[in-house]
Structure 1
């Protein structure tokens, strides 16, 4: 076998491994919003707190994860992340068996039990895990694809699997809990936690055995974590990622809450199914993009989907709730406002945004790509901050009105796609 064939075979194993990790990121992350239905029944203010804790971890771990990537490499960083993930999921499981009768403090006029504190701690630790995994996966797939449109194509392939598991999480959660009542607890969704722990453990042993390319090992000089900030298109891309993750999480979360609060039997299951439909459409969009990205530029794709998403959400906001459609679900047939379908369709649009923004923002960074990934992961905290703000708007003005915030964030992404993504700092050496 020639050296070229060996290299190609090694790269293929690395690509498959990175795609596998990409899938697990979404499986764990997407537990936050549907689990929030359980805690939100007892603590109305806590509906999005698990999601917030998961993404808050990015703020603390993003830059350290980038430094780990430079110092220890892709493989060791991934292995550490998977071990941390098992610990985080195990702690979340403990919230189902311990602490319900132990009072801790009073918040918003309610006495908070220890089990909620344990759950939030577990969600925070899981955030460390997915932050490190994201830091590994995105630059590696982009590098293996050679950057440019091909790099974006590889990210979209991984994103397809990411969306598949993202589809399964809210769907399975909705089926497991059905309708949320005062008797619903984390023990009802413990099978998902056990599945997550098992997959993380298996992934750990698989990655420990495979060869992962370490391109940063060839860089002899020290590269500062702040070096990518010299590039305007990278800085604007970091901001775009902050807003994008808020969009990605906020759209299905509020759609889930909107339907789950409707007055019919099995509303939580239907809400979970619509959230799952959103993630399924994300999977479809990424699957399609993985085929066309070699021919259609990232910029064109991003401009198109951002514009369509704004149109869908504006139509959903202004469409009357009396405009409904019948939705059969298991043994229940219910009428759902048509706007719910339009909101779910946004999954086709948001599907390519993560990979597209990352691809545009690291284009031309060369040796600064690894530290740039750390900066990006720090700003993924937007997935906790912006949905929390959206949830506050939803509580005061209604779930549908909260989508005005989402439109504003997508408008910025449209600006970045058209104007902000241009590299105006090509004079900076990157070799």
Structure 2
């Protein structure tokens, strides 16, 4: 009887922490998937090439690799709750740096702001992911993680819509054709006016982050014990687990294709003549959310997570090919499948990029348990390596932009996703089963 009461009390006591941490997941989902709309905006405002525009993702995601270990050291000293508050404060600082960047229309300062935002998110993710596991019963941890994932991807639907409503409204005077007709002085004035649109939204975002930091500080969030440092000898043996090493590589490729699908679609749609190009990341995120919900019902009830990963990789390969050969003028697929939604239609080729969100959704939750299987006391080190694999989001969109610039064809540049999905398929079929490098 007492054990039942204790379990009930524990579930009740986790409701408020779940709400607060869920809000954090929404916030860093919102900030992360805002990049998809920010890339085409900054390309216009700062007159950037493809490759330069994708430095947005480079600056943002590379912070996960550069700052992951320093932030973990800070986290061990501050604890999880104070670490979350610190992450929010750093994100607020990054938002404030957007203000002088927008006023001066300096792309380099925008990149600094994005790096600082990514740094805040690094410590926030490092603190909140294990926190959500420990604040409730172990047997329901997967449910809590799934809820947090839905909050994160749901924010990816909202962010581009908000950005479009407040920033990208009335963009007709900023088309390349119109700007080309202006003399240098008038063109500069137009672009400065466009850049200044970012000032108020990011000022509001900074204020909201500061309020949330105060909420975390004064909230009843319980502190949880941080794990002890692993022995040096144990850490060095991490290389003896091929399922982890290959899992890190697979996750590196996965985050690369996930960010390509979410963050390049806006600029690609703009080139394909889509008028609501600033909202296109929402399409990708909507498909991700739908796949996430499907996965919650079918895994492991009807299909194993290994099977889900195989399906995801194969679907990613098929859609990658369809993106490269699809039509930028036909709307037939959208009209046949999604006209009933009333959502603005997009060309087939752009829709195929958005559908990659459906293919990608189940990869992250499938790779993690496979990669960490059998690690024992090395689990926290393995988790840190997997977090660092998020840097794939920095590398692959930038490479995509470079290929698009060199080839002059952004559609064919999507071939870069094919080797990524092939490695994920290898990991799903064989890589995660390897117990040693010899077999």
TM-score range, shorter chain: 0.7 to 0.9
| In structure 2, distance between residues paired with 1:346 and 1:258 | 14
How far has the Cα of 1:69 moved from its partner? 4.1
| In structure 2, distance between residues paired with 1:94 and 1:358 | 39
Unmatched runs of 5 consecutive residues or more in structure 2: 176-186
Name the counterpart of 1:409: 420
How far has the Cα of 1:294 moved from its partner? 5.3
| In structure 1, distance between residues paired with 2:327 and 2:272 | 16
User: Aligned residue pairs: how many?
Assistant: 401
| In structure 2, distance between residues paired with 1:374 and 1:96 | 34
8 Å Cα contact 2:10/2:136 also seen in 1 = no
Larger radius of gyration: 2
| 1:197 paired to 2:206 | yes
Name the counterpart of 1:243: 253
Instruction: Give the TM-score of the pair, scaled to structure 2.
Output: 0.81
Equivalent residues in 2 for 1:21-420, closer than 5 Å: 21-41=24-44, 42-44=47-49, 45-97=51-103, 99-100=104-105, 115-142=106-133, 151-175=141-165, 176-178=167-169, 179=171, 180-181=174-175, 183-184=190-191, 185-208=194-217, 209-212=219-222, 214-217=224-227, 219=228, 228-263=238-273, 267=274, 269-293=275-299, 295=301, 296-325=303-332, 336-397=346-407, 398-420=409-431
Deviates more, 1:224-233 or 1:11-20: 224-233
How far has the Cα of 1:128 moved from its partner? 0.4
SS at match of 2:226: helix
How far has the Cα of 1:229 moved from its partner? 4.3
Instruction: Give the TM-score of the pair, scaled to structure 1.
Output: 0.82
Change in 2 beyond 3 A, CA 1:356/1:334:
closer
CA-to-aligned-CA distance 1:219-260 (integer Å, 9 cap, x gap): 486577666444222211211221111111111333211221
How far has the Cα of 1:374 moved from its partner? 2.4
Change in 2 beyond 3 A, CA 1:170/1:34:
same
Unmatched runs of 5 consecutive residues or more in structure 1: 101-114, 426-431
8 Å Cα contact 1:152/1:359 also seen in 2 = no
How far has the Cα of 1:336 moved from its partner? 4.5
SS at match of 1:399: coil
| In structure 2, distance between residues paired with 1:378 and 1:405 | 21
Name the counterpart of 1:428: none
How far has the Cα of 1:389 moved from its partner? 0.2
Name the counterpart of 1:108: none
How far has the Cα of 1:142 moved from its partner? 4.7
SS at match of 1:216: coil
Name the counterpart of 1:106: none
8 Å Cα contact 2:35/2:263 also seen in 1 = no
8 Å Cα contact 2:330/2:348 also seen in 1 = yes
8 Å Cα contact 2:267/2:277 also seen in 1 = yes
SS at match of 1:211: coil
| In structure 2, distance between residues paired with 1:147 and 1:300 | 25
Change in 2 beyond 3 A, CA 1:206/1:313:
same
Change in 2 beyond 3 A, CA 1:84/1:167:
same
CA-to-aligned-CA distance 1:310-361 (integer Å, 9 cap, x gap): 21222232234453348899xxx99853122122111112122223222322
| In structure 1, distance between residues paired with 2:364 and 2:11 | 26
How far has the Cα of 1:145 moved from its partner? 7.5
Deviates more, 1:77-86 or 1:408-417: 408-417
CA-to-aligned-CA distance 1:353-399 (integer Å, 9 cap, x gap): 22322232223434433333322222211101111001111223322
8 Å Cα contact 2:11/2:136 also seen in 1 = no
Structure with a larger share of its residues in strand: 1
Deviates more, 1:128-137 or 1:171-180: 171-180
| In structure 2, distance between residues paired with 1:238 and 1:7 | 34
Deviates more, 1:18-27 or 1:53-62: 18-27
SS at match of 1:421: helix
| In structure 2, distance between residues paired with 1:226 and 1:9 | 41
| In structure 1, distance between residues paired with 2:131 and 2:148 | 11
